[in-house]
A and B are shown apart, each in its own frame.
Chain A
């Protein structure tokens, strides 16, 4: 590549790549491990996607396995269990978007309004903590408290009030799952919003207060606009991940509510692909999910740009 003259395109002149290399050498060296990591663990394994188009046999290996074209995808399209899993995934994702997504924002706003640093730190620690529990532990706690033989139902039983089926009711499973997510992850989710809150210039609040703006007006005209960029970014990420609603949470509770209610795309791949040795079928389900996710994240990003926000990157 040679240098390009600056004024013609109105862009700054690009330096010779050798000069740039020398200038950025240390930066490039520092990013190199991360790039290698990405290549080795994220890009090289992409090659394995070829198994989705085969009748993959681990013993024969990828090269010797029989080519099956789109057969696995045809099977997927004709499999009611797959459509059930897709439906569950979208439904759970939607419920979580409505019920979970606003919670960390509200929590961050509340926490931000607490003046005592000590009380704030205490509350923050308490709501963070469940994030570090594994799903097994989280669900065990729910089962111990709300399960058929848990504290609540034994109390109800002891007082002859009749029991309340919370943990094994397929009809309310989406609510249960969302409640578990809120309990476990809401505290962790507030971190990014707290950081965004801290970045808002306090002069604005003082000026607004001096002009007679009340609490709600300041929230509406200063705090929320200040958070908007982050909220939109999180929303874009959430939409892009709409088909990833979790795995262990459903794996563990699958028997409790039955596979009709609990199977999401990830557990579908696991049970009907890996667990039965039908690897190519599982890979096809996974690839299908990835393509839809890519489209979703692309669309959500476009939408963010249309609203004048940064989205995943600045346009």
Chain B
């Protein structure tokens, strides 16, 4: 138990730090003497090679997508599992080749050569040796493979670790260029891949070429939201819409905190709320001048507000003590009522765990609002997906075509025959239909439950929570209400590859540490200002901003 706690809190720490990177431009590290870097995606040249988008219309969602700005749309919702499981691929895609694949897995590794793998190999027509690796250590496992130039035929490289993997240096050197196979109308050979919106392909594009195959692509990619306990709010007669500014939120903190009863209003929210103060996620261009978020007054205002929140005693002491791993437990137990988090956590499992702790449990999120209560709400959207797979450069063209056909199978739309196979296995062996819901058998839980194949290829994300319709309805409605607030930040989807020194400066560990100490109430805003000043002069900050200005902004523009 102890170790798991450790791993999870570590994962949280890594992911939240990495999430910051992944949200903005995806940055890649590369040393001075390293291989040639892919450079930057320029808007016009990339547009010329991006695959055509041919949406799949064979399966209709119960709650359709709502469009926002360019490349923004909500995820479609399904209340029931499509009864008619249409087939989208005729015959088997493979031609009998043998390949190896490595994917990250946060969970128990299924037994090797199990009945599900065998069934998948049969369905795919290739011998695909699946080697799921521990997701918590994935960022340290992969660099040993790349250093030895021994990548498998097919590999998933989550984008939030692009700096660790140096993906920008791997493409073209160890990873295959898929542009000839997928650009423009070429993709129509693979209809399920063509149904992935173009924004998804940007996530795997480097230096104006297509390399990565995106999984779970979405038009609603954000860092996360500020969640609250809807059941508790309802019982107290509080409606979330009353909260229109940071001041309102602070007042709510006072109202909800009852330390004697062991209830604090807030868990950590900084990561998900600082942009509400008008600070950019990482970069902004002000009258042609490039500024890092640390340099903006809005960022300092955000840190100060969070410091006041902590000092006032509205934040749970365990959160202030850095115990992030138990954050959901605190939320389920009603020890905290407002908590920041990624949107991935708003799902069926959350509903089941929450209602197990309290039958009335209901998760909801505040609509985005500006801290001053007056400006229009705005939230920076991230790259369309972080889950991207790549093919080995040593594969022959016919092998690449074979694997792309397999990827096309894996990317079959939600509810199709292929999707059911990839996600639930063989009916009767790995799952049974229970009231129209695919329900895993014991074999299914053990062998299919890990869901490793979608890390190689998967359709665009949908919202589906069988037996938890309230979750699907709440989440889709919240997305629809907020879709207008999403906007592209500067350098969106440009996949910038930068030298190691700049990547280290961008990580700005010294500033991040001080900021965290400040919003936990241990440091003053002046300390943050000092840390930023040190970062700029001796931590490489000024050089980073100069580098970004000279190599990205002046050459390629903002990409908006």
Chain A positions within 8 Å of B, measured between CB atoms, are 55-61, 64-66, 78-81, 133-137, 140, 143, 147-149, 153-154, 157-158, 167-168, 170, 248, 252-260, 271-272, 275-278, 281
Judging by beta carbons under 8 Å apart, are A137 and B260 in contact?
Answer: no
Q: Verify if B318 is at the interface (C-beta below 8 Å from A).
A: yes
Selected A-B contacts with CB under 8 Å, 23 pairs = A55-B500, A57-B31, A58-B166, A60-B33, A66-B31, A134-B6, A135-B6, A136-B3, A136-B9, A137-B5, A140-B323, A143-B318, A148-B318, A149-B262, A149-B335, A167-B317, A167-B321, A252-B322, A255-B520, A258-B522, A271-B513, A272-B510, A278-B504
Judging by beta carbons under 8 Å apart, are B320 and A256 in contact?
Answer: yes
A76 CB to nearest chain B CB (Å): 12
- Contact partner of A252 (CB less than 8 A), chosen from B6, B170, B317, is B6
Chain B residue numbers with a CB within 8 Å of A143 are: 318, 321, 323
Chain A residue numbers with a CB within 8 Å of B2 are: 133-137, 140
Given A149-B318, A252-B6, are A58 and B147 neighbors across the interface (CB < 8 Å)?
yes
Q: Which of B9, B503, B507, B522 has the most CB of A within 10 A?
A: B522
Per DSSP, chain A at the interface is helix
**What 8 pairs between A and B have smallest CB-CB spacing?**
A148-B317, A255-B322, A57-B31, A137-B2, A276-B507, A256-B321, A258-B517, A134-B2
Judging by beta carbons under 8 Å apart, are A137 and B317 in contact?
Answer: no
Judging by beta carbons under 8 Å apart, are B507 and A59 in contact?
Answer: no
Chain A residue numbers with a CB within 8 Å of B29 are: 277
B3 CB to nearest chain A CB (Å): 6
A44 CB to nearest chain B CB (Å): 15
Given A256-B322, A271-B509, are A277 and B6 neighbors across the interface (CB < 8 Å)?
no
Judging by beta carbons under 8 Å apart, are A253 and B322 in contact?
Answer: yes
Q: Which residue on chain B has the smallest CB distance to residue A66?
A: B33
Chain B residue numbers with a CB within 8 Å of A79 are: 538
Chain A residue numbers with a CB within 8 Å of B31 are: 55-57, 59-60, 65-66
A262 CB to nearest chain B CB (Å): 10
- Contact partner of A278 (CB less than 8 A), chosen from B316, B322, B323, B500, is B500
Q: Verify if B163 is at the interface (C-beta below 8 Å from A).
A: yes
Cα A244 to Cα B517 in complex, Å, equals 25
Judging by beta carbons under 8 Å apart, are A59 and B147 in contact?
Answer: yes
Judging by beta carbons under 8 Å apart, are A276 and B322 in contact?
Answer: no
Cα A60 to Cα B149 in complex, Å, equals 10
Q: Verify if B523 is at the interface (C-beta below 8 Å from A).
A: yes
Chain A residue numbers with a CB within 8 Å of B173 are: 59
Judging by beta carbons under 8 Å apart, are A60 and B35 in contact?
Answer: yes
Judging by beta carbons under 8 Å apart, are A57 and B335 in contact?
Answer: no
Q: Which residue on chain B has the smallest CB distance to residue A63?
A: B33
Chain B residue numbers with a CB within 8 Å of A170 are: 522
Q: Which residue on chain B has the smallest CB distance to residue A60?
A: B34
